[in-house]
């Protein structure tokens, strides 16, 4: 995840002006997401480093583990987005 410039809401259509507290809460949520994604990266590296025989059951299991980790990352990013949206409270049509 890249660092974005904090927005105060005054230049983003459909968003209210964010308070300092709103920004702090959103940043805490993003920190948790980054930490979790970092843990997922560690697990991905461990799974990718496993030596398995091509075409074996172990290779299939490793591929499934990597797929699960990729899904976990996507779902964490989505969870972070929804949580931040709850803090930011954009207009319903955004």
pLDDT, tens digit, for every residue of 17-60? 889 999 999 999 999 999 999 999 999 999 999 999 999 999 99
Query: In this model, does residue 84 exceed pLDDT 70?
Result: yes
For residue 26, give every residue at least 6 positions away whose Cβ sits within 8 Å of its Cβ, in sequence order, or none: 18, 84, 87, 88
Sequence ranges of the domains in the chain: 20-88
Smallest CA-to-CA distance from 50 within 74, 34, 36, 69 is with 69
Smallest CA-to-CA distance from 73 within 38, 37, 28 is with 37
In this structure, what DSSP letter does residue 16 have? Answer: P
């Amino acid at each position: 995840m890249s660092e974005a410039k904090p927005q105060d809401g005054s230049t983003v259509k459909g968003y209210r002006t964010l308070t300092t507290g709103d920004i702090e809460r959103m940043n805490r949520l993003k920190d948790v997401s980054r930490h979790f994604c970092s843990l997922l990266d560690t697990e991905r590296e461990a799974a990718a480093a496993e030596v398995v025989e091509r075409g074996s059951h172990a290779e299939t299991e490793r591929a499934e583990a990597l797929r699960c980790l990729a899904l976990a990352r996507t779902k964490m990013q989505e969870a972070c987005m929804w949580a931040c949206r709850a803090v930011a409270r954009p207009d319903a049509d955004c």
